[in-house]
Amino acid sequence: MNWRKIGEVARGFGRGASRAGRVTVRAGRGAAGTSRKVGRGAAGATRSVGRATRRLTHAGGAGRTGLGRLIEVTAAHSAGDALITVALAGTLFFGLPVDEARGHVALYLLITMVPFAVLAPFVGPVLDRFRSGRRYVMAGTLFARGLLCFAMAAAVRPGDVITLFPAALGVLVLSKAYNVSRAAIMPSVLPANTTLVTANARVALFSLVTAGVALPIGAGLVAWLGAEWVLRGAMVLFLVLGVQAVRLPRHIDSPDLEEAEVDEEGAKIARWRTLLRVGPVVSEALRANAAIRVFSGFLLFYLLFLVQDKHLPGLPAEGTIALLAVAAGAGGLAGAAAASLIRARSPQIAVLASLGLCTATAAVAAYLFGLWAGVAVALVAAFAQELGKLALDAIVQREIGEEVRSSTFGVVEALLQLGWVLGGVAGLVMSLLSRGPAGLAGVAAVTGLTLAWLLIARRLRLSRSRGSANRRTARSRVHGEDVDNQPTVERTKPLANPFG
């Protein structure tokens, strides 16, 4: 009898376990079905976003000329830059005590001056010599950045500064080399009825958006996995982008060059590659952009160290830095959007207007110094830097010929970087001497004097140009030439050397 009861109890337990198992299986199937539905929904949403992005990047004929694919590669390149910035932020600056951070930042700024001063005369001419292989040059910079990210991933956790700083410096130089190559090929991928400023603005807009998306994602991954894994992810991204750069359209490697000019004896005229002979329009835009970069570099380090030293009250340090970063990002986006609206003939005015806006904002912020004044000046600095640089790129692409365009962009990038570094050093020093308004007033005075000098020089140049045109017209009339019926020569290609 006892054995029979035990058997019945055991069978009851077995039937209960069987029912529980069937319920578990049904629940598992339901969960799997839900997971499949969620996965299909996420994949569908990703494909929809991808198709929408492709439509935007390839709009206006950009897909046919190769501009769309160049936009996609450059945007992903900016996302990789953002990941590197997030991964190294704690190591190079924010994780250090204030005094120690100043020493590291000063060392970093001084080191960044050396390669640009030494490599500027060589990088551009080398890129000009390899015009037939620009895709491979761009791919090489991306592959090299991937390898440097691998080296930094191994050095970031132990804090190996000897490896970390040179690798970060190499990443910076390679990023500039990529930007020089990308800017030089823009006229080769320009769609019909699209101005150079608009094309540059489209590239910048997508780059800023992807960088803005990558920054919080990178910050979350750094908190979850660590900076070394974010750098390894950036390595994979750059390696994939290197392959995509090789797959850009082949006509990028075969630019339509002007025939070399010859003198009366048939000898080729030399093309000088010095900054002093790029022409007054390019020189004016470059000087204005250099002043804007000094202003931007000064504000970056001046405001950040004011926050670190608790001289910009209102929010906790982390909240203030985040607010300044958001303002700078919004300013960059607004600058790129404004650049897309510029007409083909007015980039010079946009550059000077950007410098004037910096001057006025810094002066007002010095008078009304505080947290929101700092946010406003950060927003305007990013806006002016983005708008001025896009207008400068369009001027160089329009005025400088294919055979020396990379050389010119190399010098331009080097000088702008040096201006940013000098501004950063000035901001670093001023943060030790001033608590706020005096620093902003000083940088407003510097930019204001620079703007006045540029405006006076521009007025004199235009007056001389009008005087020369009037004298030529008078001489033509004296000699009996019909000036009104003279054939008009339309310049369809940029000059290799406006003063050549």
pLDDT at 314: 72
pLDDT digits (tens, 9 = 90+) for 153-177: 888 888 777 888 788 888 888 888 8
Q: Which residue has the higher pLDDT, 26 or 423?
A: 423
Short-list 411, 451, 445, 413, CA closest to 426: 445
Note whether 280 and 237 are same-domain residues. no
Please check the confidence at residue 230 and state whether its pLDDT lies above 80: yes
Burial 210-221, CB ≥16 within 10 A → b, else e: bbbebbeebbeb
pLDDT at 400: 81
CATH number (domain holding residue 371):
1.20.1250.20
Q: What residues have CB less than 8 Å from 160, skipping those under 6 apart? A: 154
**Are 85 and 239 in contact, with CB atoms under 8 Å apart?**
no
Short-list 221, 230, 241, 59, CA closest to 141: 241
pLDDT at 321: 82
Residue 473 lies in a domain: no
pLDDT digits (tens, 9 = 90+) for 100-158: 556 667 776 776 666 666 556 666 777 777 777 788 888 999 999 999 999 998 888 88
Note whether 330 and 238 are same-domain residues. no
pLDDT at 376: 92
Please check the confidence at residue 268 and state whether its pLDDT lies above 70: no
Expressed as residue numbers, the domain containing 343 is 276-465
Note whether 247 and 320 are same-domain residues. no
Amino acid (1-letter code) at residue 269 = I
Note whether 121 and 235 are same-domain residues. yes
pLDDT at 239: 94
pLDDT at 290: 94
Task: Tell me how many domains the chain contains.
Answer: 2
pLDDT at 412: 85
Note whether 207 and 322 are same-domain residues. no
**Are 464 and 368 in contact, with CB atoms under 8 Å apart?**
no
Return the CA Rg of the chain: 29
Confidence of residue 496 (pLDDT cuts 50, 70, 90): very low
Note whether 159 and 243 are same-domain residues. yes
Confidence of residue 96 (pLDDT cuts 50, 70, 90): very low
Please check the confidence at residue 52 and state whether its pLDDT lies above 70: no
Q: Would you give the end-to-end CA distance of the chain in angstroms?
A: 116
Confidence of residue 497 (pLDDT cuts 50, 70, 90): very low
CATH number (domain holding residue 225):
1.20.1250
> What is the chain's mean pLDDT, rounded?
77
Residue 431 lies in a domain: yes
Confidence of residue 236 (pLDDT cuts 50, 70, 90): very high
Residue 194 lies in a domain: yes
Q: Which residue has the higher pLDDT, 98 or 439?
A: 439
Note whether 220 and 77 are same-domain residues. yes
Note whether 198 and 73 are same-domain residues. yes
pLDDT digits (tens, 9 = 90+) for 307-363: 877 777 777 777 888 888 889 889 998 998 888 777 655 788 889 999 999 999 999
Note whether 388 and 323 are same-domain residues. yes
Note whether 249 and 285 are same-domain residues. no
pLDDT digits (tens, 9 = 90+) for 240-250: 999 999 988 88
Residue 5 lies in a domain: no
Question: What is the per-residue DSSP string for 11-55?
Answer: HHHHHHHHHHHHHHHHHHHHHHHHHHHHHHHHHHHHHHHHHHHHH
Residue 306 lies in a domain: yes
d(CA 74, CA 175): 11
pLDDT digits (tens, 9 = 90+) for 442-486: 999 999 999 999 999 888 888 877 766 656 665 655 555 554 454
**Are 331 and 378 in contact, with CB atoms under 8 Å apart?**
yes
Confidence of residue 265 (pLDDT cuts 50, 70, 90): very low
Q: What is the 3-state secondary structure (H, E, C) of 193-255?
A: CCCHHHHHHHHHHHHHHHHHHHHHHHHHHHHHCCHHHHHHHHHHHHHHHHHHHHCCCHHHHCC
Lowest-confidence segment of 187-196, 326-335, 376-385 by average pLDDT:
187-196
Please check the confidence at residue 75 and state whether its pLDDT lies above 80: yes
Note whether 443 and 384 are same-domain residues. yes
Residue 297 lies in a domain: yes
The whole-number average pLDDT for the span 193-213 is 86
pLDDT at 469: 60
pLDDT at 47: 56
Residue 25 lies in a domain: no
Residue 484 lies in a domain: no
Note whether 74 and 153 are same-domain residues. yes
Percent of the chain with pLDDT over 70: 69
